[in-house]
């Protein structure tokens, strides 16, 4: 007789990320625009902090993340007691699912929503329910509300969403929360918040302040350029934070991530520069693709969802063949699209040059 894993795990298809072995060592020839990483690296202050770190790796890291939560709180004007840190925001998504789901509980997310939501849901015995979006790739709040059943427990919404790049205004999110049953947890995943320029956007702080059934989650993997360190944080009402603290592994953040995260969050000049560069290059690249007859979905994030058509796989192969790596989004039910992370202007120019080599 074999040992059976829980049924949710048996049914899971594991998340497949961009290939990390396509490292930047080959930077001259290789264009890495597939994982929504920061093409400008990270803050110089973080690099210094890393070099200056004592090498006492025999000592356990802080399990309370006190100085890091303090720094995040100071920079964002939030109480550190309402902050919980994760080994990447993926870790927080799993912690939320583990803490709140019982077998059979339903979890709503948008059809083209981030793939870790259904994975974390199933791993905790929940039932993921993808909900259709509007034709322009926004959450369809009417459809989401119609999909609510007595078993609904969590709604995951990425804002902006990956891989569409679309965002929801604070007013629309507020209206949705008000109509949603109060025993349903709304998770606002703002992994790309630092890139957003739209004036009517709120990353989730206002909503988490106004409701005790909202969690905002954030990451250092994108605008901070620290994907390799694995660091995310959440902000919610004290009850939720205390619940998540119960499921959190005590040493889920290593020493390097904690020290570097603290320095990174205090260097908002780096984040501003990343946002400005991203907006400039994204606007230019979208224009260049449109000049070539393609459409892209308007994006507030550090990537563009590019409509290629039935030849998307062939286009992807052509780009890979020339060492330009972007992302297929077939797993997101978007077989005719490709997702392009906004690289530096030079990387995006290389992408366009390779694109023009493609025979129609």
Residues that bind ligand PLP (CB under 6 A): 36, 88-90, 114, 158, 162, 189, 191, 219, 221, 227, 232
Q: Are strands 106-110 and 31-32 parallel, antiparallel or unpaired?
A: unpaired
CB 114 within 8 A of CB 120: no
Minimum distance of ligand PLP from residue 158's CB (angstroms): 4
Q: CB of residue 337 vs ligand PLP: minimum separation in angstroms?
A: 15
Using the structure block, give the residue that is written with the tokens 């791993």: 123
Distance CA 150, CA 269 (A): 46
Of the two residues 338 and 355, which places its CB atom closer to ligand PLP in the complex? 338
* Omega before 163 within 30 of 0, i.e. cis: yes
Asked if 214 contacts 207 with a C-beta cutoff of 8 angstroms, the reply is yes
Q: How far is residue 211's CA from residue 153's CA, in Å, rounded to a whole number? A: 16
Q: Which of 323, 340, 357, 315 is closest to 29 using CA atoms?
A: 323
**Least CB distance from residue 113 to ligand PLP, whole Å?**
8
List strands edge to edge, sheet with 303-307: 295-297, 303-307, 337-341, 327-328
* Cβ-based nearer residue to ligand PLP, 88 or 355: 88
Nearer Cβ to ligand PLP (152/166): 166
Q: What are phi and psi of 73, to 5 degrees?
A: -60, -45
In whole angstroms, how close is the CB of 89 to ligand PLP at the nearest point?
4
Residue closer to ligand PLP by CB (options 193, 355) is: 193
Report the DSSP beta bridge partners of residue 107. 128, 154
Q: Which residue is nearest to ligand PLP (CB)?
A: 88
**Cβ distance to ligand PLP smaller for residue 73 or 86:** 86
Q: Which is nearer to ligand PLP, 225 or 355 (CB)?
A: 225
């Amino acid at each position: 007789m074999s040992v059976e894993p829980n049924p949710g795990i048996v049914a899971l298809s594991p998340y497949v990320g961009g290939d990390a072995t396509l490292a930047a060592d080959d930077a001259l020839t290789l264009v890495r625009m597939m994982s929504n990483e920061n093409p400008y690296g990270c803050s110089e202050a973080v690099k210094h902090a890393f070099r200056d770190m004592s090498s006492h790796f025999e000592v356990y890291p802080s399990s309370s993340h006190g100085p890091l939560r303090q720094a995040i709180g100071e920079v964002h004007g939030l109480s550190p007691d309402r902050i919980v840190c994760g080994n990447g925001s993926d870790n927080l998504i799993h912690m939320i699912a583990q803490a709140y789901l019982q077998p059979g509980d339903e979890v709503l997310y948008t059809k083209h929503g981030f793939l870790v939501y259904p994975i974390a849901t199933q791993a905790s015995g929940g039932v993921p329910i993808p909900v259709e979006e509007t034709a322009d790739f926004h959450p369809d709040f009417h459809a989401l509300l119609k999909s609510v059943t007595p078993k609904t427990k969590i709604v995951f919404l990425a804002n902006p969403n990956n891989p569409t790049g679309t965002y929801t205004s604070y007013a629309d999110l507020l209206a949705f929360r008000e109509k949603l049953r109060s025993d349903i947890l709304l998770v606002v995943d703002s992994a790309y918040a630092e890139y957003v320029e739209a004036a009517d956007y709120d990353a989730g702080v206002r909503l988490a302040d106004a409701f005790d059934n909202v969690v905002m989650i954030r990451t250092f993997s994108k605008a901070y350029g620290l994907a390799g360190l694995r660091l995310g944080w959440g902000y919610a009402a004290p009850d939720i934070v205390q619940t998540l603290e119960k499921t959190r592994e005590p040493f889920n953040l290593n020493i390097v991530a904690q020290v570097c995260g603290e320095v990174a969050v205090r260097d908002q000049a780096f984040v501003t520069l990343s946002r400005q560069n991203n907006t400039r290059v994204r606007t230019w690249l979208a224009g260049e693709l449109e000049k070539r007859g393609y459409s892209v979905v308007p994006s507030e994030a550090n990537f563009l969802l590019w409509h290629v058509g039935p030849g998307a796989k062939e286009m992807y192969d052509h780009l890979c063949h020339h060492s330009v790596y972007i992302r297929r989004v077939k797993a997101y039910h978007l077989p005719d699209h490709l997702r392009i992370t906004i690289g530096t202007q030079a990387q995006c120019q290389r992408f366009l040059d390779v694109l023009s080599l493609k025979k129609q």
